[in-house]
Every structure is written in structure tokens, then in C-alpha cells.
Structure 1
Amino acid sequence: MAKPYISLRPEITRTHALTLMDWMEDERVTRYLSDASSVSRFIAQAVDRAQLPILTHLFNQGGRFFMAYDRNDIPVGFVRLVKSGTECEIVLVVGDHDNWGRGLGWSAIREGLKLAFLDMRAECVIAKIHPNNTRSVKGFESCGFLPKLRTPTLTHLAMTADRYLQLLREGAMTDSSRICVTEIDRARLLRLIEVEEEAQQVDLKHEIERAIVVEPQHVARDVVTMNSRVVLNLDDTQQEVTLVYPHDADDPSRKLSILSEVGTAILGYQEGDSIDWLVAERTRRICVEKVVYQPEAFGDLEL
């Protein structure tokens, strides 16, 4: 059975809005959603008043809104992040009840936490859940949230940035295989992240933080490190690429920047590993078939 997979995407279209309206009309979905009526009213007004095909700007008023897609690129829910000061509230809905119990909520929580902590720079993420909504309470607790406040009408659960990074480094925040990076690659990549403005750096920071860090001379020979040449299978299409820093990237030579979607995806994986990753706004299956050349294996530690 495939592991749960969710990608969060910021673009909201009129079609998405209509799907959201259908979800909000299902009492099983809205039963424990405290602001269900206001959300439904807002969506209806957005559809009626705005004639544009893209409604993203309307949904991002007062927070950041993301559609949640499954592995088959089908919308299954949404995540809303509302930051106030150093705290960020997360609101999560899996819209189609047929998808309940598949672990999609857990996956969506982890993706929301990645954005809240690594992109929005929150110091604490809060989830406010009706105490009778035991499925959601258990889902957030299984992701590492701890009780903060309980009232008859709401259970407040919290995750701090320090706790998030600890769980991430322990491998508790992902279903993916653990990855390895060398001490040298990690230091260089963290410096790169500090000066880069590209959105892809959020995913790269996430991968670096969750990676097992090893000395260059101790990394396994079949691990993808920086400047490795690798044979990939991307949705059943084979290609050979070299993973490089942005200033060395060159499409005709198949030199792939670490800040590209595929480049970030393959860092630290081994021969035989497969990864589901969002590439050009759709989910792709990436398989690492062979590490043809790895600098560390050849003693080329200065690359």
C-alpha cells in the first residue's frame, strides 16, 4: 500500500472554489469547523463577485490558503495558515469523507508545518479543535502537537519551532526514507539558502534539516551528494544528470541545480530509492537508478 502523500498548492481557481463549496455543504465535514458558516459565505461571495478564473488573492486575505492534493493530483482538502505575531494557527480540512482514515490529514499537517516554520518563520503553531473531534485531535497529537489549553468548546494544541526541528531531525515528521548529507555539503547548502530568494529553498532547508549528517569519507558510495552524476527514472523516462550548485547549472549539459525541484528531491537518496515530488505543478515519481559518479567515492573532496 502506498504511503500517504499530500502536496499543498497556493493557486485557487473558480473550479477549486466550487469544490470547496460542495465540501462546506457536507455536515460531516463542517460539524466541528467553528467558522463553517462564515467560510461558506465568503466562498460564495468570492465566486459571485470575482469574474477572474484565478481567485488566489481573495483566499489569501488574512492568511495563506492552500489546496491539498493527493498523489493523483486530485484536490482532497485545504490548509489555511494564519500568522499573528510569532504564532501561526493551522486550519485543516479533508473535504471528501471517502478519504478519511487514509493518513492524508497527517501528511497535510506535516506539509503545513513545513511552510509555517521554514517559510513563514513562526515560532509556534497552534491548532484549535473541538474536543469531540477525536480524529483531528489524534491526528495532530500523532504529529507531535502537545496540549496547551482545554475548554469545553476547544482543545488548543501547540508545536514549537524547536520541537518541530527536533522531530524533523529524528525522522518523525516524514514517511520518506532517511537521507544522508555530508558535513561539507550541509555547510555549503546552508550558506546558499541564506542568500537565495527562490521558493525552492524551503524544501531544501527541510531536506537538510531532516538528513543524517556524515563525514565525507564515511558516506556510502551509492548516496547522491553534491556534484554526483546520477541516472534517474522520472515517470518511466530515464535521464542522466549531475547535481550541482546554481552557478554551475547548465541544461544542455544536464547539470541540474540543487535549487531545482528535481535537484532538491534527489539529494541524499541512495540507489534504488523512489520519491514522490511536486515538479512543475504535478506529482512525479522519481527513482534513483544508479550513482555513476560520486566525488567522495573518488576522493574528490574539494569539488
Structure 2
Amino acid sequence: MIQLKPLQKADVDYFYNWINDEEVTRYSLSIFSKISSKSEINKWYTSVLNSSFEIVYGIYLENTSELIGYTGFSNISRQNNSAEYFLFIGNKKFWGQGIGTRVTEEILEIGFFGHKFNRIMLTVSEPNIGALKAYSKAGFIKEGRLRKACFRQGEYHDKIIMSILVNEFQSKSTSL
């Protein structure tokens, strides 16, 4: 149903609507609340494509090649063989259909076997129940809580820290 492929420069057009939709960006990057014009979004998008600190993939529908979001790794530490995972599904039509779980499973395989990471972590806003379910289903384990670390829609909420290790992923994969 989906394919992970390198983001293309022309794909920026999708982000114009996504970044300007409060429901889509509610639990996403803080920068999305600070940018809205095409020039600001273009500048951010170009920095993402050119970053040597991130590995990014577009999430494309297999049958139409339509971009529905993006995913990848940031805060990469080659010394520690670790990275922080992120996922953004901008097209709301595809929320709640298991795509987040599928993307997470695919990106973990890329991270552990392609990039040789030992540990992949993430933070997720506690009210983002769908993401918490997807990450748990993919094998992430809760490690801790950043209390009142995120301010959205006039209130603070906690961020949950989760991680998965390569041996946990291998065990999960072989038990399926």
C-alpha cells in the first residue's frame, strides 16, 4: 500500500496545506506553528532535504505515487549507533488505517539493518493516542516521561519517551 522513497524537491507542494492545518500539525514539530507562507515552508523543506543530520523518506502510496507524509531519523549518533525516529502523516484521509504502524515497521528495518543502529528512540505527545498505539504495536517500549514538555492549544502536556533496541526488533520480527 505504501512505499518509502527519498523526498523530491517538487513534493514541497503537499506541505503547504499540511503545515497550515492545525489538526495535522497539533502534535508535530514546533516549527510548524511558526511557519505558514510558501517561502517559509520552502526554506524549511530545503533545509530538510539538504540536512546531513537527518535521514528522510517520503511516504508514498504505492499505486499512485501520491505523497501522504514523511518519516525518518534525526539526532543521529554514529558513535552510539542511535537515532531518533519521526513520523508525519499529513494527509488525514490515511489516519487510523494502520499506515503509521506499517511505516514504523519498515523504517525500523531500514534503521537497524540498513544503517546499523543499535537503538532507536522517539518522543510522542501523550494525547496522541493513535501514535502511542502504533509505536507500541511496532515494539517500542516506554522509557520515561518529559513532564509538561509540550505546549499546544493553550495547555501543556507530557511527552512520552519510547525506544526499541535492535535485539528487541529482531525478536519481534522472528516471532511473527
Identify, as 1 or 2, the structure richer in helix. 2
> Aligned partners of 2:42, 2:137: CA distance in 1, in Å?
36
In the other structure, the counterpart of 2:103 is 108
In the other structure, the counterpart of 1:260 is none
In the other structure, the counterpart of 2:151 is none
Residue segments in structure 2 that go unaligned for 5+ positions in a row:
148-157
> Aligned partners of 1:118, 1:109: CA distance in 2, in Å?
14
Question: Do 1:11 and 1:56's aligned partners in 2 also have CA atoms closer than 8 Å?
Answer: no
Shift of residue 49, structure 1, vs aligned partner: 10
2:62 to 68, 71, 78: 71
1:128 to 123, 131, 134: 123
- Counterpart AA for 1:64: I
> Aligned partners of 2:82, 2:43: CA distance in 1, in Å?
33
Identify, as 1 or 2, the structure richer in strand. 2
In the other structure, the counterpart of 1:141 is 136
* Cα distance change of structure 1 residues 121 and 71 upon mapping to structure 2, 3 Å threshold: same
> Aligned partners of 1:108, 1:166: CA distance in 2, in Å?
19
Shift of residue 166, structure 1, vs aligned partner: 1.0
Residue segments in structure 1 that go unaligned for 5+ positions in a row:
172-303
Q: Deviations over 1:36-77 (max 9, x none)?
A: 437847x84473699xxxx59734342011110123222111
Provide the TM-score with structure 1 as the length reference. Answer: 0.49
Give 3-state SS (helix, strand or coil) of 1:107's partner.
Answer: helix
Give 3-state SS (helix, strand or coil) of 1:121's partner.
Answer: coil
Q: Deviations over 1:81-123 (max 9, x none)?
A: 1212322111101111111111111111111111111111111
In the other structure, the counterpart of 1:81 is 73
Q: Deviations over 1:221-278 (max 9, x none)?
A: xxxxxxxxxxxxxxxxxxxxxxxxxxxxxxxxxxxxxxxxxxxxxxxxxxxxxxxxxx
Q: Which entry has the higher C-alpha Rg, 1 or 2?
A: 1
* Aligned 1:31-42 pairs, distance under 5 A: 31-37=26-32, 40=35
CA RMSD in angstroms comes to 2.6
Give 3-state SS (helix, strand or coil) of 1:62's partner.
Answer: coil
> Aligned partners of 1:168, 1:111: CA distance in 2, in Å?
11
> Aligned partners of 2:13, 2:103: CA distance in 1, in Å?
21
Instruction: Percent identity, please.
Output: 19
* Cα distance change of structure 1 residues 17 and 167 upon mapping to structure 2, 3 Å threshold: same
Matched, 1:7 2:12: no
